Structure 1
């Protein structure tokens, strides 16, 4: 059965179940193609992390806001507090929580989870600097850090907790497929196939009266095209897609019910593999940045649904705007082809009669841009970028791979250039920079780097990041941010392109309670830790 056929079938089932008193939503995140049965919540390229569902089963401790700096919603942890030196974080947990197999949840599960991540770096996708964790009673955990852990708070909160009584028997947790997941979440696995899976309500969920919907059916698509067709036809209730002509192709199909909200949450950069000699010249990186017309890129490729990032600091507006250094407030990036050509010449490149730049070694400057074959908007952006970079003599080639393969290649550094950014979140300006530029979080080529995929290694950058992390003094933190912004502007380790948005399309035919710009209690995307806050806030629409 094709994914689209499955969508039609499941939509029909959903309508039937709704008429009989239950509410099941059809959901789709990133296009992935057929799935393997793998519910390991720490696998970045796993099905639940790509199309959604992970936090519905394995919950986070608390949920940091992606749209309001400093706002956090308690979850499995009801409160938490750092020691004065930042090297201990005490968590007070909810009581009365049970795993979906009926076993009690306790501090031992949280301690086990963090100690497991410390011992298995391949699973530590947030790059947490962890010391030993310990329990101080059934509902109290103390996490320790080798360095001040203030800036790790958001990622500590977003870490998914797994049951010790199951995972402690696993010889290699990084390779564990977790085919029959057990969690504390509001939903539990019911059925699975390579084309999708159904999560049903957890009858023993710890939040009384929740969830108010009965299930979530995650449906697989090969690309945005097939997913958007299902969305337009009303076969999907909740999605995270780029939709071409969204007002016409989606909203207009049912204006009263078809909604979307795309708040910007993280910067997206053009990242070049900095282990390659042609990208190690600062003048070349500056030239590439000057060659780009960002407004044109997002107009053509994103229809302005994802806004251009035109601050040379790369920070996300509006939430990070107040953190921009005084000297860069109001400064914007603009295309300047003559200046870009001059920088290419300064770097030793000459444009030949064929219009392409040749270096001192006699080789043409070629850039290969990597993305997912399912990301149709990024493919379009690369096509526009091809024309813009040709103006300064750079030959662009576009390479596409399946989503999971694209991500895996980017992590191990098997790419020339690509869109990069703080994939795990930009909850503060620090996170935007650390996840993109921290030398202490990256890895050698061939080893997966969950942060800093471009392999930027700069002592001053790391010093400033660590300066910020060692204090809670706002003035000292801003001084560190100012220094990092100087590096962004003067050395251009990555090139600001656009602000990644939390894609979310949803309808109100069956349920209400969705977040939006007027009620931003979470982003509305079905992917990531915050999606469980959305799912537990939804309730069937009154008839």
Structure 2
């Protein structure tokens, strides 16, 4: 039985349809149907008008069995009651897909090397199209800015539902903002993306399908943030809200029914204290307890939802209420199941790829992996795309080290410039990247916008003699004649670069360590897991930090996370931890940053509030690029292409524009219309 959505109700269509069937429009074959307002997708009314049809809807024949695996979900109503009245119509890339199969994913560990997999099921209010230029609707149907970028009005889809069938409305956005993001009982410090001009963003709920973000200062990059970030600006108020004291006088009593001591404990159990959507679910953190609760995980709007979560990996099934359909009316996603397996050893992961055990992989792969992957692609049943990256492999020194002598040295820009000059980037490019890369400084932006173009090579020239002279001038000499320089106070120093393959190539770092040792600064390299790296980073224990950094201008307009202390997040590259502590505490804790950092913070604020492309924005952006390169806080190395592995049986996967986290990996490439040509 198929259904036609009509004014929010269903008409059963038996036998031959009374309506003209919609054509199987794809990107490869538009079948004469005009392009919609946005590339590769349509609103329902728009598509029906363009195609001269009335759409009938159908769903995965296994959807009831899949739904039965979702702990706490009720029996399914008919499809017409699950789809929005205004579903998003997606044109598949090459062909209309078929249902079924299991998507096999590979990650390093829980919260490590997982964003690839997260991005496959991810949704947000909007997203970037695969041109990485055009922002298009997703969860939101439409949006509108006021003239000065201080009010962003968004319209949701009528009839959109959470994965448990509860209505999704503007109240879920308000709940995310007011009761989670800005509640200090849940998040001690508000993230920059919920602030504008340093003040919390406000929300006005206009109707169940319309709301307005009101900003204290212009922030045109807010929309880009929604298009690229893992942070989803909506949470299930009907579920989490029952535990929130501001919304339910009996919140603690309700939480007690679930075995929690308070409502906030229940919220933390399901949601945690972060918008990061890959924190361990209750099924992993407390499996015995999760099994006894009405819901093992909170409802989602994503294409798939957790049904199992262990130390070995995760399992998900298709969301039976997902809001997208293809051009023939088939509810997406096509793929029934997703399995994520953890393998923390880089060589073991590569072997799994070569053996054809993985459907898609990009994260934690770097150009040095490419020859082996290319050599085995035919036998392994996969193809390799070599694509440009946005991020530059960078190093930094812990400028707020707990060791006073190291902090004094590391915080000196002349030391950092000397260590940059000691790196032979041409050798790095030839040996590690097969001549396919380009030496690049880190300017605060990558790729380089026009206003930063002249700064892209600053400090990248190899000058070992100059580096030695600069180190001598700093008092960092080899006083005891053992071949290794000491700190200016005479203490021995060995730089130990700890790295994870998720963030940097070991081959690259081994060469850099040799370059630094060659100028007298003894350096060793040690591979650790991503979790070990992040734990040491968070504890301010690393002398040298090694991770990639990328910051497209559009994304920098939406969040200052990579541009102000500590210059990154837990998941990547942070330095200046105690500078951030000083700023956050208004000088009552931490280490006072130098004057150039204070000026940088002001320039970032100006950049974010200025009209995009204006002279004011360009001037602020150039000042940021100059500050980063003048002070060499991050030492850029070589930017190079990176491999993407796609198994042959996975269909409707396009050529990527870039291999990057910055645009949230697969999100622009519409993984909900990927499908498996055979059961997997």
Aligned-partner Cα distance in 1 for 2:347–2:173? 41
**Helix, strand or coil: the match of 1:59?**
coil
1:235 is displaced (CA, Å) by 0.9
1:96-121 CA distance string (max 9 Å, x none) = 22111111111111111122112244
- 1:360 maps to which residue? 488
* 2:420 aligned with 1:296: no
Q: TM-score, normalised by structure 1?
A: 0.80
Tell me if structure 1 keeps the 8 A contact 2:141–2:156: yes
**Helix, strand or coil: the match of 1:356?**
coil
Tell me if structure 2 keeps the 8 A contact 1:268–1:500: no
Aligned-partner Cα distance in 2 for 1:75–1:492? 39
* 2:668 aligned with 1:515: no
Aligned-partner Cα distance in 2 for 1:332–1:264? 21
Tell me if structure 1 keeps the 8 A contact 2:395–2:636: yes
* 2:203 aligned with 1:133: yes
CA gap of 1:295–1:103, structure 2 versus 1, over 3 A, is farther
1:245 is displaced (CA, Å) by 4.7
CA gap of 1:429–1:135, structure 2 versus 1, over 3 A, is closer
1:402-456 CA distance string (max 9 Å, x none) = 3123224324533211124557x535374699433314x669xxx9698853346
**Helix, strand or coil: the match of 1:150?**
coil
Tell me if structure 2 keeps the 8 A contact 1:265–1:501: no
Listed as ranges, the matches of 1:190-269 within 5 Å are: 190-208=307-325, 209=330, 210-240=332-362, 241-242=364-365, 244-250=368-374, 252-254=376-378, 257-269=382-394
Q: Pick from 85, 91, 114 the counterpart of residue 50 of structure 1.
A: 114
Tell me if structure 2 keeps the 8 A contact 1:195–1:220: yes
Aligned-partner Cα distance in 2 for 1:23–1:287? 54
Number of residue pairs matched?
495
- 2:225 maps to which residue? 155
- 2:440 maps to which residue? 310
- 2:240 maps to which residue? 167
Please list every run of 5 or more consecutive structure 2 residues that lacks an aligned counterpart in the other structure.
1-97, 244-262, 273-279, 283-296, 401-406, 580-592
* 2:143 aligned with 1:80: yes
How large is the Cα RMSD of the aligned pairs? 3.5
Aligned-partner Cα distance in 2 for 1:234–1:90? 46
Aligned-partner Cα distance in 1 for 2:142–2:377? 44
Aligned-partner Cα distance in 1 for 2:660–2:394? 23
- 1:25 maps to which residue? 103
Tell me if structure 1 keeps the 8 A contact 2:498–2:544: yes
Q: Pick from 153, 156, 174 the counterpart of residue 111 of structure 1.
A: 174
- 1:13 maps to which residue? none
Once structures 1 and 2 are overlaid, which stretch shifts more, 54-63 or 129-138? 54-63
Listed as ranges, the matches of 1:494-505 within 5 Å are: 494-499=634-639, 504-505=644-645
Once structures 1 and 2 are overlaid, which stretch shifts more, 240-249 or 379-388? 240-249
Once structures 1 and 2 are overlaid, which stretch shifts more, 131-140 or 522-531? 522-531
CA gap of 1:432–1:532, structure 2 versus 1, over 3 A, is closer
1:541 is displaced (CA, Å) by 3.9
CA gap of 1:59–1:366, structure 2 versus 1, over 3 A, is same
1:283 is displaced (CA, Å) by 0.7
CA gap of 1:410–1:133, structure 2 versus 1, over 3 A, is farther
**Helix, strand or coil: the match of 2:395?**
strand
Aligned-partner Cα distance in 2 for 1:331–1:277? 24
**Helix, strand or coil: the match of 1:216?**
strand
Q: Pick from 146, 150, 163 the counterpart of residue 100 of structure 1.
A: 163
Q: TM-score, normalised by structure 2?
A: 0.65
**Helix, strand or coil: the match of 2:475?**
coil
Tell me if structure 2 keeps the 8 A contact 1:27–1:216: yes
1:264 is displaced (CA, Å) by 1.0
- 2:305 maps to which residue? 188
Tell me if structure 2 keeps the 8 A contact 1:502–1:525: no
Aligned-partner Cα distance in 2 for 1:26–1:449? 24
Tell me if structure 1 keeps the 8 A contact 2:390–2:660: no
